[in-house]
Amino acid sequence: MTDIATRADHLEKLLGDPWDADNPAGFAAVVAADEREETAPAAEAALDEFGLLAEFVPRTLGGRLDRVDDMIELMRSVYRRDPALGLARAGQLLAVVNVWTAGAPEQRRASAELLLDNRRIACAFHELAHGNDIAGNEFAARRLGSELILHGRKESIANLDQADALVILARTDPADGPRSHSQLFLPADMLAPGHVRRLPRFRSVGMRGVRLGGMEVTGLPVPDAVLLGSPGTGVETASRAFQVTRMALPAMSTALLDTALRVTLHHTRRRRLYGREAAAIPMVRTTLAEAFTDLLICEALSRAAARALHLCPESGSVHAPAVKYLVAGVLTDAVQRLSTVMGSEFYRRDGEHAVFQKIARDVRPVGFGHIARAACLSALLPQLPGLLGRARRAAAPAPAALFTDEAELPELDLPGLRLVAGGRDPLAASLGTVLDEDLPTAVRPLVEDHVRGFAALCEAGAALRPRELSITAEVPVRELAARYTVSLAAAVCLGVQRTASAGEFLARPEWLLAALTRLAGVERAIPADLPPAVEDALIEELMDRDDRSLSFGLASRPYA
Amino acid sequence: MTTYGFDPAAPSELQSWLVERLAEYLPDLGEAVDPYRQLGEYGLDSIAVVAFAADVEEQLGIAVDPTAIWDYPTVSELAEYLAGELAERRPQAA
Amino acid sequence: MRTADLEARLAEWSRPGGPFDPAVLTAHDETESFPAEACAALDTWGLPEYYVPVRRGGRQDRLDEFLALLRRIAARDLTVAVAHGKTFLGGVCAWVAGEDGPADLLARHVLAGEPVAWGLTEPDGGSDLLAGSLTATRHGSGWHLSGRKWPVNNATRGNLLCVLARTEPEGGPRGFTVFLIDKRATATGTVRPLPKMPTHGIRGADISGVEFHEARVPAHALVGTVGGGLELVLKSLQLTRIVCVSLSLGAGDHALGLLRRFLSERRLYGRDLADLPHVRGTAGRAAAHQFLAEAVAHTAARAAHQVPEELSVVSAVAKAFVPTLVQGQLRLIGDLLGARGFLTGVEGYGGFAKLERDHQVVPLFDGSTWVNRAGLAGVLPLLRPGRRATASVSASPVHWLREEHRPAPLDARRLRLLAPRDSVLGALPTLVAELAEQERTSSTAAETASLSRALLAAYERLGADLKNVRPTGGAPSTATMRLAERYEWCFAGAAALALHRARPRLHDGPWGQDGLWLRGCLALALEGLGSRPTGATQVYDRLGTLVTTAPDVPVSVLDDMVPDEPVHDGSVEVPAA
């Protein structure tokens, strides 16, 4: 298949109109499947027909992955119908990014073949007792001659029971340290039943269509050829590879806010309260406009971060946790606020808006799955002084190619991703120059606020000492990292508006003003309100897109 | 002390004041409120009634329960009722 | 002592195989079946007596006590609290109407263990009571009812149902009337159940409906006066909205218990989780949420007895504020629990996901957060500081929040639709001035005084902003809704200050020493008002440390408050309207 727009249209067509009650891949079917803790079979079949997993396989290996931003946008067509359907597929991405980063040619080929054949590769990293602390993992691979003997438990692993291969993180050195773990690429048929006990499925309150399995392995011998990368590089490989997924998964999840917003609009435009359309109630309008803005912010930040993986891969270690932290927080808040607009309709598991309660449950793991928001701040902190110092010393405009999806991108170089950015972040650096640009008049004071805020952050960052930045960092210090993510998002919104083609909605000042206002209020309980004219413009655009069945995010592309 | 821009003891003045006030609660209404028409017909909902009672109470300086507006559902009836209530308290409001 | 007794029984019943065994309750949730064993246990214990006023032969004489009871149940299982507690809602119209209705008849039924439902909502009607289309027409000496009520808690399982019906074809505020229906006394085929609504949480509860076809009900089914239904319901809601918030307190208790367990078990990066400052800070913040919620709920419950004429404001604040606050608290705790708050089968933690789903119904009950906030927004101009004379000393919350104070009998005749004043916020300047007198005694006293001054300043700013607000009809503007939200935060802070002032016991003990809990409440309120109080981090950190190091101290400032036995002397009653 050809370009991304054609592929996205094709996928939309295959999955059909989600509102159509007779569509076996539509909302009604998705909700019914969720009740059975499954995904809709017709939707799975459509994804197989489309060959969705090929989107995770690099072109050089016969797949269709060449741009991370395109992959994300395409996956939104899946997530918007059923986030569980999306996550169950994106779960393979978690596994294979490690293979693309560190795998031997035959491991890469084998992985590609499996995915191109719609088969599954599970990422078996998680152990409940250790959560995000993967370096604490206990599952062990002990060397015995030319074999490795596996021992331990893996828990809450997506697709484990259906996997044809696994990527496993195992401890290969009993001593703690950065080289204590290795990754393994294991065909599932090596899991000899005598040594492997399957754990009962882990049930969950949301994302119920994702089959979470587990296994307890006792003394399983495997050939040492299963090692993925050199021994001891397991955590390091993951630190590179997961830069992609830590931003891509939350970025795909923005589609869930698109659906929450669409369902809320659908409800409020039809419902009459006290003799008027509910969508005309001021608080309803405000909440809709804010949620729309939030969606644009999330997609802007994730677009720039995804494109930066290609354009300035040295910043991935900063952008990935920043995207995860901010996007997950904003999405969760926005869905919760929309549930207030839905009122008691939110609480129903039947009727035409039943998908809303599913989204309210499905949004939960965006905050802690893969990496928790708290762990993202911990990851950002040690880099903060370097980033802030450099941003202050070497302010420079950010390249336009970061913001506009029309610009072509260099090939993704996963092994080239760095573990630390060395202070290099073109987005942060641009904040020192944004006031030199031609800004819409109405926006300038807000930009000045953000620039001042960032300057204050740089000031505070300069005073930080390394020992303050550890995992035991004090709360106010951690808040500096949170503020950094807000500054990045502000820089991105400015970039997206500046580089949008004239006449486009994104080129207009209203959404930018709204975005900067929202970002200024991220940490505040009662946000600043949008000027009425801005709110009107956002609502008008939102209604128009709703009528024309366009996506509410940055792309504003046709939805089936 | 509450001061009025009209004589609240005169039901007719009170009535035109009420009509004026009500206009602010019914921004979509193109015409003046008919003092003899039921307020409910103008779409004054229950929240608005409470707010309107609060407003009248604030302006007149006497306690006005929203139920008074339910029990005297036209401007004319309400004005008469309020004038009566005010007359009782006149000495204080001078 | 009854609260303590119930708590002891609940602990017993929660053992494996008991009616409150979490496994049993989880199974009910899964299969969407009614938690009948748990409800039966509560019947045996005598909970229905608390649905009936003392003068009608029951034990209901104090709302604060009832809140404490329902909270204990909700802390075990919110679905059960909802499934059983609806009888309080079902009965309240009859008690408020007093002699104008079948109160004694209803009391006998309830004391016999008969549940009562309250039917207000109609399909597509939502919270707009005036849109109700279920109609009652006179027929001989009685009435004919036609129409539907849906969704209604316990509509199918119960025999008794209190409904709001249209009695004037054109409706209007005097066009509705309340009736108490005994389904058993209606002709076959005239009353039919409507299907259970599959819900997101409280899945075991009987959320269904009822349909009437020319159902004949006798004259004595009338509750209150013909045409008095809307007023009766609006006044009853002032009481039920306060009761509802106890469900939130219970959910908070439940979640905090799970959090404590998690913090004691979990190690990360080679450390105890509680060694991480941000974990302590979050835990402390969650505790502060609980204290502030308690302060508002308890103040509201006492206010029902002492300043019933203000209850339209107090109940709206409590209902808009507390469930939202607890929702935020659950979010904090859920963030810490991570996967354990999401996976439903992990030993010991499966309850979190359920309680969070269950709790999401509380902001919707008896008028949603926005409905209550809009009601408050509509009358804000009347409530601005200094507009009204401050209340008398006996109306001050400091007086009626004293531990030993025996609340005045509930007097439904004093309920009003429009509050003349707000005694809780009215007391704020005095409370702040009193703290200022203490400020030289210690550095923490100075900190407390400074936080309270900041609250007063925020309240004065709100007052200034309210000067430009006129009462308006229709849905309030966003700006006015935000002002109402600020009002709620100010009220909450004032309630905490009043509670602290009224109870010397709260100046001591693990939470009370140095006024720690109060500073937690004030810091939270100030954050809610948009400021970043200095010292907040340290306050939350200390609270969080206590949460983890003193696991046996309940996260509550009301915990010692075990109300005494109700006195059957006839002096405590709900008088006739």
pLDDT above 60 (res B28): yes
Residues A165 and A228: beta-carbon distance below 8 Å: no
pLDDT tens, residue by residue, C407-422:
999 999 999 999 888 9
List, for residues C480-522, the tens digit of each pLDDT value. 999 999 999 999 999 999 999 999 999 988 999 899 999 999 9
Residues of chain C with CATH 2.40.110.10: 116-231
Q: Which CATH superfamily is domain A237-548 in?
A: Butyryl-CoA Dehydrogenase, subunit A, domain 3 (1.20.140.10)
Contacts of A36 (CB under 8 A, 6+ apart): none
In the complex, which subunits touch A with 3 or more CB pairs below 8 angstroms?
B, C
Q: How many CB pairs under 8 A join A and B?
A: 4
Q: At C325, phi and psi to the nearest 5?
A: -60, -45
- By CA distance, what is A274's nearest residue in B? B45
Rounded to whole angstroms, how far apart are CA atoms C347 and C349? 6
* CB-closest option in C126, C342, C479 to A205: C342
- Give yes or no for residue C563 having a pLDDT over 50: no
Tokens for A296?
């644009």
* Nearest-angstrom CA–CA distance, B85 and B64: 9
pLDDT of residue A274: 65
Considering chain C, tell me which residue range(s) the CATH 1.20.140.10 domain(s) occupy. 232-549
Intrachain domains A4-120 and A237-548 with the same fold: no
Superfamily, domain A123-231: Butyryl-CoA Dehydrogenase, subunit A, domain 2 (2.40.110.10)
Question: Rounded to an integer, what is the distance from CA A62 to the centroid of its chain?
Answer: 25
Chain B / chain C CB contacts < 8 angstroms: 85
Structure tokens at C58: 């029951």
Residue B26 to chain A, least CA–CA distance (Å): 13
Q: What pLDDT sits at residue A271?
A: 83
Interface check B33 vs C, CB under 8 A = no
pLDDT digits (tens, 9 = 90+) for A440-476: 999 999 999 999 999 999 999 988 998 999 999 999 9
pLDDT band at C246 (very low <50, low <70, confident <90, very high): very high
pLDDT in tens, B30-55: 788 899 998 878 877 776 788 788 88
Measure the CA angle with vertex A91, ends A246 and A43; round to 5°.
125
pLDDT-wise least confident of A337-341, C84-88, C570-574: C570-574
Domains and their CATH numbers in chain B: 11-93 (1.10.1200.10)
Tokens of C384: 């601005």
Secondary structure element (H or E) that encloses residue A213, with its range: strand A212-223
Does C310 contact chain B (CB < 8 Å)?
Answer: no
**Which tens digits make up the pLDDT trace of A425-444?**
999 999 999 999 889 999 99
Inter-CA distances, A60 with A69, A97, A411, Å: 18, 14, 10
pLDDT given at position B30: 78
Pair of tokens at residue A451: 């620039």
User: What is chain B's mean pLDDT, rounded?
Assistant: 80
CA distance B48 to B55: 10
Instruction: Give the residue with greater pLDDT, A433 vs C570.
Output: A433
Q: Is the pLDDT of residue A28 over 60?
A: yes
Q: Is C334–A202 a contact, with Cβ atoms under 8 angstroms apart?
A: no
The pLDDT value given to residue B91:
54
Percent of chain C with pLDDT over 90: 82
Look at residues C100, C89, C96, C53 and name the one whose alpha carbon lies nearest to residue C220. Answer: C100
Q: Nearest chain B residue to A276 by CA: give it.
A: B43
Q: Phi first, then psi: what are they for A141, rounded to 5°?
A: -125, 110
Buried b (16+ CB within 10 A) or exposed e, C345-373: ebeebbbbbbbbbbbbbbbbbbbbbbbbb
The CATH number of the structural domain formed by C2-111 is 1.10.540
End-to-end Cα separation, chain B, in angstroms: 8
Instruction: Examine the pLDDT at B92 and tell me if it is beyond 70.
Output: no
Residue C276, pLDDT score: 94
User: What average pLDDT does range C241-249 have in this prediction?
Assistant: 98
A36 touches chain C (CB under 8 A): no
Confidence grade of residue C561 (pLDDT, cut at 50, 70, 90): very low
Interface confidence, given as ipTM, is: 0.96
Q: How far apart are CA C270 and CA C274, in angstroms?
A: 12
Q: Which own/partner contact pairs does C265-272 have at CB distance under 8 Å and 24+ positions apart?
A: C267/A129, C268/A130, C268/A131, C268/A132, C268/A133, C268/A136, C269/A133, C269/A136, C269/A471, C270/A136, C270/A176, C271/A471, C271/A472
CB contact under 8 A, B25 and C474: yes
Decide if C128 and A336 are in contact by the 8 Å CB cutoff. Answer: no
Amino acid (1-letter code) at residue A525 = A
* pLDDT at position C571 over 80: no
Residue B57 CA to residue B79 CA, distance in Å, equals 13
Give yes or no for residue A541 having a pLDDT over 50: yes
Cβ neighbours for A277, distance < 8 A, ≥ 6 positions apart: A268, A269, A271
More confident residue, A497 or C1: A497
Q: Which residues pair with C199 in a beta bridge?
A: A348
Is the minimum CB–CB distance between A269 and chain C shorter than 8 Å? no
Alpha helix positions (H), A344-433: 355-362, 364-368, 373-380, 384-393, 426-430
Cite the beta strand spans of A275-392 per DSSP E. Answer: 276-277
Phi, psi of C211 (to 5 degrees): -125, 130
The separation between the first and the last C-alpha atoms of chain C, rounded to the nearest angstrom, is 32
* pLDDT of amino acid A265: 97
Taking an 8 Å cut-off on Cβ atoms, the answer to whether B45 and C128 are in contact is yes
Query: Which superfamily does CATH assign the domain made up of C232-549 to?
Result: Butyryl-CoA Dehydrogenase, subunit A, domain 3 (1.20.140.10)
Longest dimension (CA), chain A: 80
pLDDT tens column, A289-345: 999 999 999 999 999 999 999 999 999 999 999 999 999 999 999 999 999 999 999
d(CA A415, CA A236): 11
pLDDT at C379: 87
Minimal Cβ distance to C374: which of B26, B38, B47: B47
Alpha helices in A139-281 (DSSP H): 234-270
Q: Which CATH class is domain C116-231?
A: mainly beta
Chain A, residues 160-189, CB within 8 A of chain C, namely 176
Report residue C332 CA to chain centroid gap: 21
The CATH number for A4-120, chosen from 1.20.1250.20, 1.10.10.10, 1.10.540.10, 3.40.50.300, is 1.10.540.10
| Res C557 pLDDT > 60 | yes
Say which residue, C308 or B84, is predicted with more confidence. Answer: C308
Residues A257, A331 contacting (CB under 8 angstroms): yes
Whether A275 has a pLDDT exceeding 80, the answer reads: no
CA distance C517 to A27: 47
Say whether C190 sits in a helix, a strand or coil.
Answer: coil
Other Cβ atoms within 10 Å of B36 Cβ, number: 9
Q: Are strands C176-182 and C135-139 parallel, antiparallel or unpaired?
A: unpaired
The domain locations on chain A are 4-120, 123-231, 237-548
Q: Which DSSP letter does residue A204 get? A: B
Q: Are A176 and A153 in contact (CB under 8 A)?
A: no
**CB-CB contact of C571 with C409 (8 Å):** yes
B47 interaction partners in chain A (CB closer than 8 Å): 274
Out of B48, B65, B71, the one facing C417 most closely (by C-beta) is B65
- Cβ neighbours of residue C117 closer than 8 Å, sequence gap 6 or more: C86, C89, C90, C152, C153, C154, C155, C158, C160, C161, C162
CB C420 within 8 A of CB C314: no
